């Protein structure tokens, strides 16, 4: 299967190379040019288990890996590592459905892709005969760091360094990261905010490239890598088959998905599913107060020149949604020149406006809505009072968008985190906010609602702290170069 850069029709790689490289040399993202060539029959996966469905879909989209390799990787990634063999169960809540993506090892939806990515990278490196180690650098605002650590720990040939903002993540998120075991992992706090950490990591990449070091290769675990996107396509199909099995829809009926969106990776995977033939009516893009995508989908103008808000749904606090570039590529029928121009405008001027034909195609599938923090809290309470279902702050944004823009047909709301990952906001939504220890807050939510605390979060407080380093923001490059030179961590 040939993937190409979204910014250059001549930069071509196969699917294994696309995963191993992560990003194209021209700064573009690797993309399939035409989904119709896959000839994928969605009906062929409706009666399969979640893992069998994953094998089929990953095999179709990344066809340079053999069926045997894919089966093996899927088993290693998922078997016994999620709360249920369904991996991502769909449950009925009121008249709608919730697709629970948080049943993995770190209780956030990023587990679905980050369990798989390390396997794809290792196998891809073998196929390309890469013998040097890969070092993954990740800056995190909380969720990605832990999910990446959990996915990459003790994976042969790969090491991982995670930087998080000192004092900028929740107590639960910090405890998840600093207690991480594994002989190839390193976790370090940075005195500064998330942007400082991310800028520091970008500088480290540049310094490394300049240094000419070849003993290791640097790579990234964020969603610009196609290997992080493809595993997310799977659960759109399993959600559809769940609705068929529940007798809620007939095969062929179109359904809607509401997706709490940040970097546009999750919702784009839904669009891939639609391009592969899954009967999808609308994809509803739900945003918090950082509503740049709501404006874009409504008007066609993407304008990042606006105030940045820190919200109670922090994984969606983002003004430049990287994966939108892939959607523009598809909607412009693979016009890489056009995409490159939009991206250049975004970089240099801070905005771009898409042509009318692209806007029209965009609105054929995408609908958008947003809500602020106050509405998010009210929604958690409403969903709980009306249906007895407790959701996290990100999922609540999706529920709110669904209330604002109801669509024809059945609707599935993607739930991206356990409510116990953001316990302080969730407890205050339920009407209490006078406890200051996050772990006590979890216990209080448990007592109030009876919803079990996920195992990986329950034992955290008593786990030994293994990573305690804190550095200044301008020390990131030196830190990386030093770690890269150390053979044994
Ligand atoms: C990352 C994340 C999102 C946003 O997903 P994108 O793929 O970046 O759009 C939403 N909710 C939670 C809890 C997340 O961790």
Instruction: Mention every residue, 6+ apart, whose C-beta is less than 8 A from residue 31.
Output: 3, 4, 5, 6, 226, 326, 329, 330
Pocket perturbation via mutation, ligand 1, pick of 169, 314, 394 by most ligand atoms within 8 A of CB: 394
Which residue is closest in CA terms to ligand 1's atom 2? 315
DSSP secondary structure of 458-472: HTGGGSPP---EEEE
Regarding pTM above 0.75, the answer is: yes
pLDDT value of position 184: 96
Question: By the 8 A CB rule, do 38 and 274 touch?
Answer: no
Question: Which stretches of 246-355 are DSSP H helices?
Answer: 265-275, 292-299, 324-331, 336-348
Contacts 24+ apart (CB under 8 A), 241-250: 241/45, 241/46, 241/47, 241/48, 241/53, 242/89, 242/90, 242/97, 243/90, 243/97, 243/410, 243/412, 244/46, 246/90, 246/92, 248/92, 248/97, 248/410, 249/410
> What pLDDT was estimated at residue 340?
94
Residues whose CB falls within 8 Å of the CB of residue 466, separated by 6 or more in sequence, listed in order: 178, 179, 180, 181, 187
Q: Whose CA is nearest to atom 14 of ligand 1?
A: 315
- The count of residues in the chain is 489
- Output the pLDDT for position 27: 81
**Ligand 1 center–CA 263 separation, angstroms:** 7
- Per-residue pLDDT 10s for the chain (489 aa) are 799 999 998 989 999 999 988 888 888 899 997 888 899 999 999 999 999 999 999 999 999 999 999 999 999 999 999 999 999 999 999 999 999 999 999 999 999 999 999 999 999 999 998 888 899 999 888 889 999 999 999 998 899 999 999 988 888 899 999 999 999 999 999 998 887 888 888 889 889 989 999 889 888 887 788 999 999 999 999 999 999 999 999 999 999 999 999 989 999 999 999 999 999 999 999 999 999 999 999 999 999 999 989 899 988 988 888 899 999 999 999 999 999 999 999 989 999 999 999 999 999 999 999 999 999 999 999 999 999 999 999 999 999 999 999 999 999 999 999 999 999 999 999 999 878 888 999 999 999 999 999 999 998 989 999 999 999 999 999 999 999 999 888
CA dihedral 159→226→341→289, nearest 10 degrees, is -80
In angstroms, what is the span from residue 260 Cα to ligand 1's centroid?
7
Asked if residues 178 and 468 have their Cβ atoms less than 8 Å apart, the reply is yes
> Rounded to whole angstroms, how far apart are CA atoms 237 and 247?
16
Tokens (6 digits) for 160: 């991982």
Q: What is the pLDDT of residue 254?
A: 98
**Catalytic residue (one of 56, 110, 421, 473):** 110
Nearest C-alpha neighbor of 178 from the set 267, 170, 186: 186
Neighbours of 14 (CB within 10 A): 16
User: Rounded to the nearest 5°, which phi and psi values hold at 446?
Assistant: -60, -45
Rounded-to-integer distance, Cα 135 and Cα 481, Å? 11
Tell me whether strands 2-5 and 30-32 are parallel, antiparallel or unpaired: antiparallel
94/102 Cα distance (integer angstroms)? 20
Distance CA 416, CA 185 (A): 25
- In angstroms and rounded to an integer, the radius of gyration of the C-alpha atoms of the chain is 21
Q: Which atom of ligand 1 is nearest to the CA of 421?
A: 13
Other CB atoms within a 10 A radius of the CB of residue 35 amount to 18
Q: Is-catalytic flag, 110?
A: yes
Nearest residue (CA) to ligand 1, atom 8: 263
| CB-defined site of ligand 1, < 6 Å | 108-110, 143, 223, 260-266, 315-316, 394, 416-417
Residue 63's nearest CA partner among 41, 87, 32 is 32
Tally helices (H) and strands (E) across the chain: 20, 16
Which residues lie closer than 8 Å to 327 by C-beta, 6 or more apart? 264, 268, 271, 362
């Amino acid at each position: 299967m040939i993937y190409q850069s979204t910014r250059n029709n001549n930069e071509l790689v196969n699917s294994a190379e696309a995963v191993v490289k992560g990003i194209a040399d021209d700064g573009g993202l690797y993309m399939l040019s035409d989904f119709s060539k896959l000839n994928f029959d969605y009906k062929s996966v409706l009666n399969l288990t979640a893992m069998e469905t994953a094998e089929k879909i990953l095999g179709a989209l990344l066809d340079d890996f053999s069926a045997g390799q894919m089966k093996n990787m899927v088993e290693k990634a998922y078997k016994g590592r999620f709360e249920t063999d369904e991996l991502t169960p769909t449950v009925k809540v009121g008249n709608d459905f919730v697709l629970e993506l948080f049943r993995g090892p770190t209780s956030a939806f990023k587990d679905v892709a980050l369990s798989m990515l390390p396997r794809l990278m290792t196998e891809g490196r073998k196929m390309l005969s890469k013998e040097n180690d890969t070092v993954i650098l990740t800056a995190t605002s909380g969720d990605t760091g832990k999910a990446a650590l959990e996915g990459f720990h003790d994976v042969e040939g790969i090491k991982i360094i995670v930087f998080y903002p000192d004092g900028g993540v929740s107590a639960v998120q910090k405890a998840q990261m600093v207690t991480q075991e594994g002989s190839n992992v390193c976790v370090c706090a940075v005195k500064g905010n998330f942007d400082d950490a991310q800028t520091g990591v970008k500088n480290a990449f540049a310094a490394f490239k300049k240094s000419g070091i070849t003993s290791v290769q640097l790579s990234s675990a964020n969603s610009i890598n196609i290997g992080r996107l493809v595993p997310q396509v799977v659960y759109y199909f399993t959600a559809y088959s769940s609705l068929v099995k529940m007798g809620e829809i007939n095969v062929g009926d179109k359904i809607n998905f509401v997706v709490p969106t940040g970097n546009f990776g999750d919702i784009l995977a839904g669009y891939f599913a639609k391009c592969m033939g899954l009967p999808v009516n609308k994809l509803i893009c739900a945003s918090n107060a950082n509503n740049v995508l709501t404006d874009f989908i409504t008007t066609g103008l993407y304008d990042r020149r606006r105030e940045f808000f820190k919200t109670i749904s922090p994984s969606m606090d983002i003004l430049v949604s990287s994966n939108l570039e892939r959607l523009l590529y598809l909607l412009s029928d693979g016009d890489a020149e056009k995409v490159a121009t939009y991206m250049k405008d975004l970089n240099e001027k801070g905005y771009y406006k898409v042509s009318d034909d692209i806007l029209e195609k965009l609105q054929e599938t995408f609908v958008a809505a947003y809500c602020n923090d106050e509405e998010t809290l009210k929604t958690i309470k409403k969903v709980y009072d009306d249906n007895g279902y407790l959701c996290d702050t990100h999922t609540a944004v999706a529920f709110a968008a669904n209330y604002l823009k109801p669509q024809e047909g059945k609707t599935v709301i993607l739930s991206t985190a356990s409510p116990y990952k953001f316990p302080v906001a969730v407890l205050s939504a339920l009407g209490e906010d006078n406890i200051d220890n996050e772990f006590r807050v979890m216990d209080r939510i448990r007592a109030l609602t009876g919803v079990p605390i996920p195992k990986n979060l329950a034992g955290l407080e008593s786990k030994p702290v293994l990573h305690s380093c804190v550095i200044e923001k301008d020390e990131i490059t030196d830190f990386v170069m030093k770690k890269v030179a150390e053979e044994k961590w």
